[in-house]
């Protein structure tokens, strides 16, 4: 029975569902398996009763982390099914001969596709409800929210697949285009980031995710969170033992799914318009619209030039031992051109459905690709846009974040205008000496084994100017410093040393009396005993005051850029700060500092002794500690590489060979010593990222994992 | 009435239809012939609403075909490669057609089951090409269309089934006034069923007349000239002349009476007009302008 309206045809709707039942049937089966297995586990006693909150947590987890990825893959399969008739001349002919308008075909096919998307979720939800009823955790509100969110995600993903379906006339091109659209933004950011960081002095290759919103799967998984609040309560029958109890569960940033649902509806409109103007004869074409073909041709060329060009550069030129960083412009142009032309001609072949595309008609395209590659490399490589030279003025800055000398500093124009000016001067001097900075690093990399780290060092100088307009200017310099240049006025070495060791910056280092930083926690590591303790809040305050007294008396705060571990005790103090008053970081524990205990820090040592955390015996220097480690290494070497006599039967197989007697005590002592990471110039920052007041290149140090979570790395 | 006027269609710059015009009177059977690549299938796809013309108009009963579901309920078509859903049986496809065509006749479906004798529960994919074509006819005729558009419809059918199918189509024309447009290379077959003919080439309809008009416009005259006249007089405007013994066969572009009058001036011993076949008409219609006649003939 035909419906009077031409917008929906029940015959076609049912036909779609019956034709493609294996797709939604199999997905429903796998979806139902999860709650069914839960029911089984509950019935055989291997799972406890579920509270409504725990069930809500599971629902929301599905919405935030599971559904986007499943929808991403499943919706494109549904789209390939319901729109498959568009990709074959015979089927498109038959469907468009039928007495139904394109609106009717569009609406009916979309609804049948959405039904196919929804069925597995309905089936899964049905079994989830049974599970919740069986296990006693039914939660109607969260279930309703989950259904809404999953439906919204379904609308978005299926609509985006529908829009992609009308761009192409080839069924195999549909999933490729769909995934390309979904992940184009992060891909481009990575490729452009790699290229520019290797061509622009000071630009670092850090994935910012600034365009993640264009990649909804990434954005939803990153932003939509399950917010679970637990409280500690006494364990039933055990008043001295506590257990965590789920107090509340919310779905954070669920509005993002709602926004993407609206975007999905907009994409659906785009899909409809594309269908209205789609020509039936484009069945089989990679790109259905005439205007889309040059976009595809040059888009693929650009993507290949960026990605493939850099890959070729790494394979070809790095194999010839050219310096990896930065890129050399001419070889890069060559590689980008080769990859770009491969992309261009590949796209031409796909569009023309023939390999015979090398003719005069494509020369114009070759010229455009070549000009594009040269232009991009020259504009970026020769800094024609002035990116590398940019140093924002104090007026335009909201605040500046600086990471150097193993410490993070925050400077505000209202209070630190002079300090920021000094910092800008240092920044300018680094830019002015770009040539020297790059050649010195290359030279140092090549002759690393010959470097005397008591006279030279590597250092990270990372700057973030947060601008008043909301943007930020981020620069990251990995610099080579030498004692000789540090004594020469005007060099960046000299200016950095003067700046970091100025009185203002020393006080900044401890965040003393800075209302924006409230110390949250702190602990001490005593390396000789391989022991650590957490300070109480009262102790924290006392120790920070003691360090401040030492700072005022000049016994702490002078940063020594070079290796000098005879002057530091093998005792470190770590302090974590909660940041307030900085909008972007507000109320987050993001910042920490590390204080290395030094012989002159009488106030601090006295306080620590009084609290019982250190004794005179613990106060050995890093140099002495290193000797102990070296001895341990030798002992281990003897154990794991025993003399040949061992193998000749003098010692029974399986027995333990202990070190010789004079080292036994030491060896046993250090067997339990913490695992160490030798600090090389490359790993210096990674192993000791923040807050150390001395010697990034000193002897092996034990760095707690948590210290890596610094503001600078956030 | 089917009417296409100055239809232009470009495929990547190539003019597949270059101002094609045709008119199919209501209740007539219109044969569309032309060499390969002439544009026959392209204009048929316009008539069935698959393609949209770049310019010109395609109408049936004065209504545009494009995006006109109400009109398309009255149009049924069998393309040269009929589409069916892959795992479908005849019955499945019948249900599908029935869901779209409001005039779909189950009564006729049952009647035609006897004619075609194909098990309706068989999967169409497993049928031979000829049987698939029979299924196409079976279902299409059940749609009870006012306009039947057929593209190479009887390819793959055996001679008995061809006759059967044409008989069904002719029955619809005579009983229901169905307007039929059929494209074919088989001129001998078209001659038996068509009352109007259009010849297409290079995207244009070159000639479009009723079969009577075509036959009236050209004559085949068998002539025996008197003793001494061995060659056809040069004054006679012949399109083609051949000789078997003393009998000359002349093809002339005029009607029979005019031709006989013109020949009588030479006092022939015999002058008799014989009817031209459709094949001959096309050969001599197109031969003068150097067309690849062999392409449109079996």
A606-619: pLDDT as tens digits: 999 999 999 999 99
What whole-number distance in Å separates Cα of residue A113 and Cα of residue A77? Answer: 10
Q: How many CB atoms lie within 10 A of CB A541?
A: 13
Interface check B72 vs A, CB under 8 A: yes
**A-B C-beta contacts closer than 8 Å:** 70
B174 and B53 within one domain:
yes
B265 and B201 within one domain:
no
**Neighboring chain A residues of B51 at a CB cutoff of 8 Å:** 279-281
pLDDT category of residue A338 using cuts at 50, 70 and 90: very high
Crossing angle (nearest 10°) for helices A492-500 and A413-432: 160
Residues A90, B81: C-beta atoms closer than 8 Å: yes
Q: Choosing among A21, A97, A291, which should be mutated to test the B contact, i.e. which has the most B CBs within 10 A?
A: A97
Place of tokens 């300018």: A428
Interface check A90 vs B, CB under 8 A: yes
Residues A93, B50: C-beta atoms closer than 8 Å: yes
Residue A265 predicted with pLDDT over 90 = yes
Please report, to the nearest 10 degrees, the dihedral formed by the alpha carbons of residues B63, B69, B72, B73 taken in order: -120
C-alpha angle with apex A580: A576 to A581, nearest 5 degrees? 145
Distances (CA, A) of A513 to A349, A516, A518, A545: 68, 9, 9, 10
B95 in Cβ contact with A11 (< 8 Å): yes
pLDDT at site B245? 87
Residue ending a domain, among B210, B245, B275, is B210
Q: Choosing among A9, A12, A99, A107, which should be mutated to test the B contact, i.e. which has the most B CBs within 10 A?
A: A99
Of A90, A91, A99, the CB nearest to B69: A99
- Strand locations in B34-131 (E): 55-60, 63-64, 75-78
Closest to A327 in 3D by CA, of A375, A288, A380: A380
Q: Could you give phi then psi for residue B152, rounded to 5 degrees?
A: 45, 60
- pTM of the prediction? 0.78
Task: Specify the 3-state DSSP secondary structure of B204.
Answer: strand
Q: What's the domain range around B254? A: 214-296
B252 in Cβ contact with B218 (< 8 Å): yes
What whole-number distance in Å separates Cα of residue A481 and Cα of residue A696? Answer: 13
Closest to B258 in 3D by CA, of B273, B246, B240, B274: B273
Token pair belonging to B9: 């269609």
Q: Could you give phi then psi for residue B24, rounded to 5 degrees?
A: -115, 110
B278 in Cβ contact with B188 (< 8 Å): yes
Interface check B147 vs A, CB under 8 A: no
pLDDT category of residue A665 using cuts at 50, 70 and 90: very low
Residue A238 predicted with pLDDT over 80 = no
Distances (CA, A) of B10 to A279, A335, A568: 11, 40, 83
B249 and B187 within one domain:
no
Between A142 and A511, name the one with better pLDDT: A142
B235 and B170 within one domain:
no
**Neighboring chain A residues of B67 at a CB cutoff of 8 Å:** 101-102
DSSP characters over A494-529: HHHHHHHTSHHHHHHHHTTT-TTEEEEEEEEEETTT
The DSSP 8-state label assigned to residue A387 in this structure reads T
Question: A7: nearest CA in chain B?
Answer: B69
Token pair belonging to A160: 């985006």
**Neighboring chain A residues of B13 at a CB cutoff of 8 Å:** none
Query: Strand pairing partners for B63?
Result: B60
Q: Could you give phi then psi for residue A318, rounded to 5 degrees?
A: -70, -25
* C-alpha B208, offset from chain centre: 11
Count structural domains, chain B.
2
Pure H helices in A317-362: 329-352
Question: B46: nearest CA in chain A?
Answer: A97
Residues whose CB falls within 8 Å of the CB of residue A113, separated by 6 or more in sequence, listed in order: A16, A78, A79, A81, A82, A83, A158, A162
B251 and B191 within one domain:
no
Residue A661 predicted with pLDDT over 70 = no
CATH number at residue B129: 3.40.50.300
Residue A277 predicted with pLDDT over 50 = yes
Residue ending a domain, among B181, B210, B239, is B210
Average pLDDT value for chain A? 84
Task: Specify the 3-state DSSP secondary structure of B173.
Answer: helix
Strands A397-404, A407-411: parallel, antiparallel or unpaired by DSSP?
Answer: antiparallel
pLDDT at site A687? 34
Interface check A294 vs B, CB under 8 A: no
Q: How many CB atoms lie within 10 A of CB B122?
A: 14
B249 in Cβ contact with B222 (< 8 Å): yes
**pLDDT tens, A181-234?**
999 999 999 999 999 988 999 988 777 788 899 999 999 999 999 999 998 888
Of B82, B85, B100, the CB nearest to A19: B85
Q: Residues in chain A, how many?
A: 714
Residues B99, A12: C-beta atoms closer than 8 Å: yes
C-alpha angle with apex A608: A606 to A609, nearest 5 degrees? 65
Closest to A36 in 3D by CA, of A124, A103, A149: A124
The DSSP 8-state label assigned to residue A362 in this structure reads G
A38 in Cβ contact with A124 (< 8 Å): no
Place of tokens 């999860």: A34
Of A12, A19, A100, the CB nearest to B69: A100
Between A375 and B246, name the one with better pLDDT: A375
How close A179 comes to chain B (CA, Å)? 28
Residue A670 predicted with pLDDT over 70 = no
What whole-number distance in Å separates Cα of residue A202 and Cα of residue A427? Answer: 10
**Neighboring chain A residues of B69 at a CB cutoff of 8 Å:** 6, 99-101, 104
Strands B147-151, B179-183: parallel, antiparallel or unpaired by DSSP?
Answer: parallel
**pLDDT tens, B216-225?**
888 889 999 8
**pLDDT tens, A73-83?**
999 999 999 99
Pure H helices in A612-691: 622-640, 644-645, 661-671, 684-687
How close A351 comes to chain B (CA, Å)? 12
Residue A690 predicted with pLDDT over 80 = no
A576 in Cβ contact with A520 (< 8 Å): yes
CATH number at residue B253: 3.30.70
Residues B50, A97: C-beta atoms closer than 8 Å: yes
Token pair belonging to B266: 């030479």
C-alpha angle with apex A531: A526 to A532, nearest 5 degrees? 85
How high is the ipTM of this complex? 0.88
| B100 conformational bin, left if phi > 0, alpha if psi -120 to 50, beta if neither | alpha
Write out chain B's pLDDT in tens, 298 residues: 999 999 999 998 899 999 999 999 999 999 998 888 889 999 999 999 999 999 999 999 999 999 999 999 999 999 988 999 988 999 999 999 999 999 999 999 999 999 998 999 999 999 999 999 999 999 999 999 999 999 988 888 898 999 999 999 999 999 999 999 999 877 888 888 999 999 888 999 988 888 888 878 888 899 998 888 888 888 888 888 888 888 999 988 888 888 888 898 888 999 898 888 887 877 777 664 445 444 444 3
Residues B82, A94: C-beta atoms closer than 8 Å: yes
Interface check A101 vs B, CB under 8 A: yes
What whole-number distance in Å separates Cα of residue B203 and Cα of residue B19? Answer: 7
pLDDT at site A321? 59
Residue A408 predicted with pLDDT over 60 = yes
Residues A94, B73: C-beta atoms closer than 8 Å: no
pLDDT category of residue A590 using cuts at 50, 70 and 90: low
**Neighboring chain B residues of A99 at a CB cutoff of 8 Å:** 69-73, 75, 100-101
Q: Choosing among B53, B99, B139, which should be mutated to test the A contact, i.e. which has the most A CBs within 10 A?
A: B99
**Neighboring chain A residues of B83 at a CB cutoff of 8 Å:** 88, 90-91, 93-94
**Neighboring chain A residues of B77 at a CB cutoff of 8 Å:** 97
B98 and B181 within one domain:
yes
């Amino acid at each position: 029975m035909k419906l009077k309206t031409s917008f929906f045809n029940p015959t076609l709707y049912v036909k779609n569902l019956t034709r493609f039942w294996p797709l939604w049937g199999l997905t429903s089966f796998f979806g139902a398996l999860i709650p069914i297995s839960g029911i089984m586990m509950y019935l055989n006693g291997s799972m406890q009763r579920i509270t409504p909150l725990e069930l809500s947590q599971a629902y929301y987890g599905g919405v935030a982390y599971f559904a986007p990825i499943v929808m991403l893959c499943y919706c494109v399969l549904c789209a390939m099914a319901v729109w498959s008739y568009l990709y074959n001349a015979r089927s498109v002919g038959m469907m468009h001969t039928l007495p139904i308008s394109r609106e009717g075909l569009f609406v009916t096919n979309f609804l049948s596709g959405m039904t196919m998307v929804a069925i597995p979720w309905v089936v899964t939800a049905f079994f989830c409800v049974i599970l919740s009823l069986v296990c006693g955790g039914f939660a109607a509100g969260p279930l309703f929210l989950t259904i809404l969110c999953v439906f919204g995600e379904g609308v978005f993903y299926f609509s985006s697949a529908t829009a992609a379906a009308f761009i192409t006339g080839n069924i195999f091109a549909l999933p490729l285009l769909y995934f390309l659209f979904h992940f184009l933004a992060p891909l481009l950011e990575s490729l452009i980031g790699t290229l520019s960081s290797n061509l622009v002095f000071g630009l670092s290759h850090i994935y910012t995710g600034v365009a993640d919103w264009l990649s909804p799967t990434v954005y939803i998984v990153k932003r939509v969170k399950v917010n679970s609040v637990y409280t500690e309560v006494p364990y039933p029958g055990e008043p001295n033992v506590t257990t965590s109890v789920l107090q509340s569960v919310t779905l954070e940033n669920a509005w993002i799914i709602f926004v993407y649902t609206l975007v999905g509806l907009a994409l659906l409109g785009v899909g409809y318009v594309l269908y209205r103007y789609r020509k039936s004869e484009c069945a089989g074409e990679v790109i259905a619209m005439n205007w889309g073909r040059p976009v595809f041709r040059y888009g693929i060329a650009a993507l290949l030039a960026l990605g493939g060009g850099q890959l070729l550069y790494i394979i070809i030129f790095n194999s010839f031992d050219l310096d990896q960083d930065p890129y050399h412009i001419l070889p890069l142009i060559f590689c980008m051109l080769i990859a770009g032309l491969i992309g261009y001609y590949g796209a031409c072949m796909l569009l023309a459905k023939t390999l015979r595309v090398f003719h005069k008609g494509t020369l114009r395209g070759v010229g455009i690709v070549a000009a594009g590659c040269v232009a991009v490399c020259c504009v970026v490589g020769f800094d024609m846009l002035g990116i590398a030279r940019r140093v924002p003025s104090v007026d335009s800055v909201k605040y500046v974040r600086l990471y150097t000398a193993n410490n993070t500093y925050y400077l505000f124009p209202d209070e630190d205008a002079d300090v920021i000016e000094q910092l800008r001067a240092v920044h300018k001097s680094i830019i002015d000496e770009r040539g020297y900075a790059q050649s010195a690093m290359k030279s140092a990399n090549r002759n690393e084994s010959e470097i005397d780290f008591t006279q030279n060092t590597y250092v990270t100088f990372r700057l973030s100017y947060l601008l008043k307009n909301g943007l930020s200017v981020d620069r990251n310099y990995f610099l080579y410093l030498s004692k000789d240049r540090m004594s020469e006025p005007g060099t960046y070495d000299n200016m950095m040393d003067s700046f970091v060791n100025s009185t203002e910056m020393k006080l900044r280092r401890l965040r003393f009396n800075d209302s924006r930083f409230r110390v949250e926690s702190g602990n001490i590591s005593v390396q000789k005993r391989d022991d650590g303790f957490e300070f109480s809040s009262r102790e924290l305050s006392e120790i920070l005051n003691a360090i401040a007294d030492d700072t005022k008396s000049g016994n702490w705060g002078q940063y020594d850029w070079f290796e000098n571990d005879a002057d530091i005790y093998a005792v470190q103090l770590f302090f974590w700060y909660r940041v307030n008053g900085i909008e972007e970081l507000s109320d987050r524990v993001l910042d920490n500092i590390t204080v290395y205990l030094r012989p002159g820090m009488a106030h601090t040592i006295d306080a620590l002794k009084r609290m019982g955390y250190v004794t005179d015996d613990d106060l050995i220097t890093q140099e002495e500690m290193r000797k102990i480690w070296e001895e341990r290494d030798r002992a281990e070497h003897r154990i794991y590489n025993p003399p040949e006599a061992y193998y000749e039967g003098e010692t029974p197989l399986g027995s333990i060979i202990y070190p010789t007697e004079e080292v036994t005590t030491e060896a046993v002592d250090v067997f339990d010593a913490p695992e160490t990471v030798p600090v090389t110039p490359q790993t210096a920052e990674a192993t000791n990222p923040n807050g150390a007041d001395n010697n990034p290149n000193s002897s092996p140090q034990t760095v707690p994992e948590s210290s890596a979570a610094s503001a600078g790395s956030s | 009435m089917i009417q296409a006027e100055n239809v232009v269609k470009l495929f990547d710059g190539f003019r597949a239809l270059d101002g094609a015009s045709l008119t199919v009177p209501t209740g007539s059977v219109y044969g569309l012939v032309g060499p390969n690549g002439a544009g026959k299938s392209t204009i048929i796809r316009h008539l069935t609403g698959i393609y949209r013309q770049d310019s010109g108009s395609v109408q049936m009963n004065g209504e545009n075909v494009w995006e006109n579901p109400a009109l398309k309920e009255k149009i049924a078509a069998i393309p040269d490669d009929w589409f069916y859903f892959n795992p479908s049986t005849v019955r499945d496809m019948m249900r599908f057609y029935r869901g779209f065509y409001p005039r779909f006749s189950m009564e006729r479906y049952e009647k035609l089951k006897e004619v075609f004798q194909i098990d309706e529960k068989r999967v169409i994919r497993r049928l031979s090409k000829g049987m698939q074509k029979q299924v196409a006819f079976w279902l299409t005729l059940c749609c009870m269309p006012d306009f039947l558009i057929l593209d190479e419809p009887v390819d793959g059918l055996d001679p008995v089934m061809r006759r059967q199918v044409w008989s069904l189509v002719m029955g619809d024309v005579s009983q229901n006034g169905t307007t039929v447009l059929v494209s074919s290379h088989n001129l001998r077959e078209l001659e038996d069923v068509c009352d109007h003919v259009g010849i297409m080439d290079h995207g244009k309809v070159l000639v479009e007349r009723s079969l009577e008009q075509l036959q009236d416009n050209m004559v085949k005259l068998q002539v025996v000239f008197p003793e001494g006249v061995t060659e056809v007089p040069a004054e006679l405007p012949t399109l083609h002349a051949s000789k078997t013994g003393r009998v000359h066969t002349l093809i002339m572009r005029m009607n029979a009476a005019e031709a006989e009058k013109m020949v009588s001036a030479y006092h022939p011993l015999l002058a008799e007009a014989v009817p031209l076949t459709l094949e001959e008409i096309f050969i001599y219609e197109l031969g003068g302008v150097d067309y690849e006649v062999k392409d449109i003939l079996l």
